Amino acid sequence: MHIPANFSVNHWEMIGGGLVADVLHENRRKILVFVGLTPQRLYELKELDVRFNTTTECSPVARFEPTDRGWRLARVCAAAL
């Protein structure tokens, strides 16, 4: 079952026009790229839906494998935004 409120932020980085975030969601690591989301707002969120969804306030524009390689790729993506 999908539980959007079950998340914590491991770390984040603002790059270019995007926010790269490493989060633990439902006990699974996710690397996400957001546009128009500040780090402050990320920490204020009560729920985070990691699926691509245009009806929520904060939907990721990209998601990457939860590895060091995935983090590097997410940084490249954010820099291009």
Mean pLDDT check: name the lowest of 15-19, 54-58, 64-68: 54-58
- What is the C-alpha to C-alpha distance for residues 79 and 16, in angstroms, rounded to an integer? 4
The domain locations on the chain are 7-79
The pLDDT confidence band at residue 3, using thresholds 50, 70 and 90, is low
**Does residue 81 register a pLDDT over 80?**
yes
**Does residue 67 register a pLDDT over 90?**
yes
pTM for the model stands at 0.87
**Does residue 63 register a pLDDT over 60?**
yes
* Whether 13 contacts 67, CB under 8 Å: no
